[in-house]
Structures are given as structure tokens and as C-alpha cells.
Structure 1
Amino acid sequence: MTTPSEPVVIVGGGQSGLAAARAALSAGLRPVVLEAGAAPVGSWPDYYDSLTLFSPARYSSLPGMAFDGGDPDRYPTRDEVVAYLHRYSTSIDAEIRTGTRVTAVHARPRGGYLVHTDSGDEIAAAGIVAASGSFGNPYLPVLPGRHNYAGEVRHVAHYRRPEPYAGKRLLVVGAGNSAIQVAYELASQARVTLAARAPIQFMPQRIRGRDLHHWLRVTGADLLPRSVLTRLVRHAAVLDTGVYRDAIASGLLARREMFTAFTADGVRWADGTEEAVDAVIFATGYRPNLGYLAALGALERDGLPRHAGGVSTTHPQLVYLGLEFQRSFSSNTLRGVGRDATRVLTALALPGGLRRRPRPTPRGSVRP
């Protein structure tokens, strides 16, 4: 059986894992965070250099620590987010182990779990929080001819800056914020076409002098579940001050219907014409990074978790955090993941869930 000394193991030390650790402490549980990377900042250092948040600083913080250090209406840069998460991790009274990749989780016959790591360690856990995030498993669609194409193919997760593409012919695949932001940046150095299955939909970044996220908060739209939101917004929309719409209208950014196949030196468009291109960058989203739960039987065949609002429907004392639309529009964002963390960690600490820790733990530290 589980004992009070056994921790709740949180897999992932990015924004979701850190929010989970704080919520676990508030619920009287003892968290141990296992982060595969060198620092408890998730995948943020790996994003492209020019990335900024789509929400202002005042709407982009985790529970208990404001995103300070400047104009609250600025859009924080990638590096600002990394620094913020570093500060946040040091404020949490929990053990955080970096450089520790979880390889598998197994259920124990008499309750609880055994967590296996890439260093060969086995950690007994009273419960599991799968907080490895929505951005660690880039999705690349399978298209005919891909293996015969001689050019470069990469996901936007592996794109950094535009200079290496100067003077080249590029396609950026996607219709979301990252696709437009990267394509616009590349257009200063290269000839770029956006390839998407449908026309780009835009949403104003500012309405009546205020950022959209102000209105999401005051109207409660940020809390809407997918089932409601999809009835109100039919297509994914790109936040825009007008710059991106003008770039497409002016021809700076061309837009075409998605190509159907790769050729040896380019692509074949839907009308049958072929075009040579030097590189194709896919901004086609991510899938949950939950392979370590496969042997447990907690996932669907496509790798998605079986859950209701972040609580596993297959195993007790197993919860998820940071999934897209886990409970609401903002579930996998800095501003929203804390609400979900409180919910799922409270569920773990309810009677019949995990035992509460008998006394506060000493202040932990981030250690390799």
C-alpha cells in the first residue's frame, strides 16, 4: 500500500509541472518534480528566437507570482518567460530533479506507482501528475513523396531564426499564430508562401483600446470548454494588429491551398502544378508527450490520454496537466494552467485519494 512518505511524482518541470508542484503543496501533498531538461523551464528555451507571448505580461503569470519587470502590457519574449520560470521554480518548496527523463510508469499491485527513469532509478509514488506538456512532441503530417524530397523539412519547433534562409524559396505550412509569425519573419529574408487547407482567419489583437485577453478575462471566455467555444469560433484564428493581414493582402506573403505531395525538388500543388522549393517548415501543432504511460494502458491508440477534465478514467491517482483544452480555452497556457492544477491536485488529495503529508517538507532545491 502507499504510505505518507511516498511523494506525488510530477513528470515535467515546465509551466505545467511547476504549477502542479505549487498546487500539490497547497493540497498538503509532497511533490517531486522530474524534468528531463537541464533546467525547470520546459520547452521554452527551444522555441524560435523572436517568439513573444500572444498575451500581455499582466495576463501571463502562474499562481502566486506576477510576471513583473516591465510594462505589464508588453508581450514577453521567449527569454523573459525562461527567466520567469527559473524564478518561479526557486519559489516553490518542493524537490525538483533536472536531467531526469521518465521512461515508464507501472502500477504496483497493492496501490501506487513505480516510476522508471533513464538513469535506471525507480521511484515509488503515491500518485502521478503527467505534466510533460503539449509542446514536446511536434506533429509532422505524412505526405506522399516526403522521403524523395531533396530539400529541408522541419517542424517549427526546430526553427530558430531567418538568416540561414536568406534568398531561398520557402513554404510554411499552417494557419495558426506560429505559422504566420514565422512566415512573416522569414519574408524579410526569403520568398515565402503560406500553405494551408483553408483561408487564414484573423482576430484583432486589440478591441476598443484593450488587448483581447482583457476581454477574454472579463467575459469569462477564457474559461469556456471546447464544446462551447467551437460553437462560437468556427476556425482557429491568428491574433493580428493588422500587420499580418496587410502582408497577405500586399503579396508580401503569398497564400495557397495546401500542396498534395512532395516532388524530388519541391511540391505538387492541388491544381497539379509543381514548384521547386528549398525548404518546408511545418507549423502543424503538437501531440501530448506521454509515451512513458503507454505500458500502463492509460492512453488511446493515437497516444492521447483517457481522461475527464484532467483526471484519468483508467487509473486511480493519475492526473494530467497542460493538455490543450483540458478544461478550457486557456488550459495549456501560462495564464490558465494554474486553475487546472488546483483542480486536479485537489482531486488527488480528497478522501479516498492520497494521504496528506504529516508536516511541511524542508525547502527543496533544483538539483541535477
Structure 2
Amino acid sequence: MSRGRLIVVGGGQSGLAAARAGRDMGWEPVVLEAGPEPVGSWPRYYDSLRLFSPRRYSAFPGHPFPGDPNGYPGRDEVVEYLRGYADRLGVEVRTNARVIDVATDGPAFAVELVDGSSLVGDALIAASGSFGDPHVPTIPGREAFEGRVLHVADYRSPEEFADQRVVVVGAGNSAVQVAHELAEHAETSLAVRDRVRFAPQVIAGRDLHWWLRLTRADFLPPTVLGKLVTGTPVIGTDKYKRALEAGRPDQRPMFTAFSPDGVVWPDGSREEVDSVVFATGYRPHLPYLRSLGVLDRAAAPRHDRGVATSLPGLGFLGLEFQRSFSSNTLRGVHRDARYVVDALTRQPRGVTVA
């Protein structure tokens, strides 16, 4: 007997993980993906992106990642992996199905799509990720800056920046990786508010993720992990650290303002800059839930480990540090999916929607 219809908004890694968990627990999942295929935002990431976790630790349960299990897959490999996973999942996936609003219909959820169609479900999981809401901090003078400002979400490859003066803002994996490859084509600086922290890719002959699993550090809740680790480390070989030490790119304190033709550094000096790339993260992208009153003033969801705190039947997936350090990663999202679907299954529910 079916537990009812589980609507999953978003068909990337989080949405597919939610659909798998829902199917396994007796629900009838319907995945609504805004794009042309259920691969999430992966096709839109920069060309050289490569996972920091090996294939053996990046795979979903029961679906091995093709290739060397100890190798690190690139962007296009992940796209192909998710495409194959969706094909074998055996659930209903609707593409080009952008959700514009969700309302309650008694104990159920009424979902409106951009094409004017609608459907109703007994439970709903918002798994649309954050790629649609890249975060760029407010910095004085940006409006007058005559150069190019972009988020790493819009960056693809370094060739278009050849011979420019470029500043990359951020201290995480994407910032360092992008700055490193830009430095081969342009005069590049990495602007940071604190400092770049590094974690080795391999320790005593074992990949870092082997140790994270052995010590169960990958499963620690954020409240505990935050007491043990400060900041998010850049994971990789020593090449990034050596490159920064060699000044390619050089590392500087975050600039304080834009000027019309560049930036103003903390010591008051001004420098002409052609482009500024912000690798400053993303924010949850959940505009279709505004009418439900489940978002705070910053448009972030009110939840407890992915379960809405004010509306039964509603869950979230793919949030950063939702339950652990690996929550919004390929290797960790399926654990969160099982937790959230199980929690929704245990909640009291109304009449099943036909």
C-alpha cells in the first residue's frame, strides 16, 4: 500500500536521493526538475571542476561510479552518472517542470508549475539546491566599477581572461581552484577575509575520505564539527599551497571598496583591475515556498536537520551542513534523504491523495 505521493522539487543529486529514499519507504515520488534533464546544476559549473572525493566515496548506494574507484571524477562524469542514476531509478521524473508556488491544500500540498499545470501531493521535499542564488557580498563602490564582476557560477574557463588583471574573492575550494588556473593566463590575486586553510588529499597512503569514514568525522553534526574545525579547508594536493606560496596567484587581504577602474586595498592603495570573480558561496533558493511562511527573513528555511519546524509534511535536502559536513555532497546527501523521508513518514498525515 502506497503511503501517498511525495513531490520532490529539484532533480539534481538531492532530488534523486530523495526520490530513492521515498521509493524505498513506500511512497510514490514525483520529481519536478526545472531543467531539460535530471542532472541538477552540474552542467553549469566551470569546465575544470573535479571532485575532491574519489569515485568510491562519491557514489550513491547500489550505483557504483564508473571508472577507477580511487580516481576523482570531473564535472561531465558527474553529469553522466546522475543521468544514468535517474534512468535506473524507476520513479516519475518530469523535466522542464519549474515550480513557481506551493500552497497547502488541507493536509496536502498544491504545487503550481510555470506552464499553468498543477499537482497535489501528501508530502513535499524542497531539493532545488542553491545554484540559483549565488551570494555576492555588498561592497562599496561596486555600482561605479567599470570592469567585470561575476560570481563563480558564471565562470567557465580562464582563456577569456587572458592578459587581464583579475581578483578572485574567497578562500574555499572553488576560489583556490579557479584562481590557480586563472594565474596561468592572467595576473591574478586571491582576496580573502581570513586565510586559506588546507587539508591534504592523501594521508599515510589513504585518501582523506577514507579517514573521514573511519573516524566517522563525515557524520558529525555541524555543532560538534564546528568545535573541532575552523573554516572550510581546501582539499587537494600540495600544488595549490605551493602555488600560493610562489605568488601564482598571490594572496591578499580582502579589498575594502571598488573604485571606478579597480579596487581599494586595506592599506589605502588603489589598483586597476579588469575583472573580479566572487567565489563566495550560495544561499538556499526556495522562492516557491514564500507563501507557506516556512522561510526566515533571509529566505532561508526554518528546519531541524532538514525537517520543517512549522509545517508537517515538508522537508528540505541539499542544504549546507544540514546534518553533517557532507550533507550537500554526492557522498552524503543520500544519508540525509533517508533521515528526512523517514521523519516525514512518521509524521501524522491526512487522507492520501489519489
TM over 0.5: yes
The answer on 1:256 being equivalent to 2:221 is: no
Q: Structure 1 counterpart of 2:12, which letter?
A: G
2:89 is paired with a residue of what secondary structure? coil
8 Å Cα contact 1:29/1:356 also seen in 2: no
Q: Which residue of 2 aligns with 1:303?
A: 299
The answer on 1:72 being equivalent to 2:63 is: no
Shift of 1:292: 0.7
For residues 230 and 114 of structure 1, the distance between their equivalents in structure 2, rounded to whole angstroms, comes to 38
Residue among 87, 94, 100 paired with 1:97: 94
2:100 is paired with a residue of what secondary structure? strand
Residue among 24, 34, 37 paired with 2:35: 37
Shift of 1:67: 0.8
The answer on 1:133 being equivalent to 2:129 is: yes
Q: Structure 1 counterpart of 2:286, which letter?
A: L
The residue correspondences of 1:286-325 to structure 2 (distance < 5 A) are: 286-325=282-321
For residues 335 and 132 of structure 2, the distance between their equivalents in structure 1, rounded to whole angstroms, comes to 21
Q: Which residue of 1 aligns with 2:194?
A: 198
8 Å Cα contact 2:6/2:122 also seen in 1: yes
- The 1:19–1:354 alpha-carbon spacing in structure 2 relative to 1, beyond 3 Å, is farther
- Give CA deviations for 1:301-335 in whole Å, capped at 9, x if unaligned: 10110010111001010001111111111110001
| Between 323-332 and 133-142, the greater mean CA deviation after superposition | 133-142
Give the fraction of aligned pairs with identical amino acids, expressed as a percent.
Answer: 54
Q: Which residue of 2 aligns with 1:10?
A: 8
8 Å Cα contact 1:28/1:356 also seen in 2: no
The residue correspondences of 1:148-187 to structure 2 (distance < 5 A) are: 148-187=144-183
Shift of 1:135: 3.0
Q: Which residue of 1 aligns with 2:344?
A: 348
Shift of 1:235: 2.0
Q: Which residue of 1 aligns with 2:25?
A: 27
How many residue pairs match? The answer is 354
- The 1:263–1:117 alpha-carbon spacing in structure 2 relative to 1, beyond 3 Å, is same
Q: Structure 1 counterpart of 2:27, which letter?
A: L
For residues 322 and 127 of structure 1, the distance between their equivalents in structure 2, rounded to whole angstroms, comes to 17
Shift of 1:355: 7.2
Q: Structure 1 counterpart of 2:119, which letter?
A: I
Q: Which residue of 1 aligns with 2:52?
A: 54
Q: Structure 2 counterpart of 1:8, which letter?
A: L
Q: Structure 2 counterpart of 1:86, which letter?
A: R
- The 1:154–1:177 alpha-carbon spacing in structure 2 relative to 1, beyond 3 Å, is same
8 Å Cα contact 1:105/1:114 also seen in 2: yes
Q: Which residue of 2 aligns with 1:284?
A: 280
Shift of 1:352: 2.0
- Of structures 1 and 2, the one with the larger relative CO (CA 8 A, separation 6+) is 1
TM-score (norm 2): 0.97
For residues 334 and 238 of structure 1, the distance between their equivalents in structure 2, rounded to whole angstroms, comes to 17
8 Å Cα contact 1:29/1:357 also seen in 2: no
8 Å Cα contact 2:168/2:191 also seen in 1: yes
- Give CA deviations for 1:320-357 in whole Å, capped at 9, x if unaligned: 11111111111100010001111111122226247789
1:342 is paired with a residue of what secondary structure? helix
Q: Which residue of 2 aligns with 1:364?
A: none
- Give CA deviations for 1:70-91 in whole Å, capped at 9, x if unaligned: 2111110000000000000011
The answer on 1:87 being equivalent to 2:46 is: no
8 Å Cα contact 1:347/1:353 also seen in 2: no
For residues 214 and 297 of structure 2, the distance between their equivalents in structure 1, rounded to whole angstroms, comes to 39
8 Å Cα contact 2:108/2:350 also seen in 1: no
2:242 is paired with a residue of what secondary structure? helix
Shift of 1:250: 1.1
2:107 is paired with a residue of what secondary structure? coil
Aligned CA RMSD, in angstroms, stands at 1.6
Unpaired runs of 5+ in structure 2? none
2:101 is paired with a residue of what secondary structure? strand
8 Å Cα contact 1:171/1:195 also seen in 2: yes
- The 1:345–1:157 alpha-carbon spacing in structure 2 relative to 1, beyond 3 Å, is same
1:91 is paired with a residue of what secondary structure? helix
Shift of 1:96: 0.3
8 Å Cα contact 1:28/1:349 also seen in 2: no
- The 1:107–1:357 alpha-carbon spacing in structure 2 relative to 1, beyond 3 Å, is closer
Q: Structure 2 counterpart of 1:200, which letter?
A: V
Shift of 1:240: 2.7
Q: Structure 1 counterpart of 2:82, which letter?
A: L
User: Structure 1 segments of 4 or more deviating over 4 A?
Assistant: 3-6, 354-358
Q: Structure 2 counterpart of 1:37, which letter?
A: G
Unpaired runs of 5+ in structure 1? 359-368
8 Å Cα contact 1:172/1:194 also seen in 2: yes
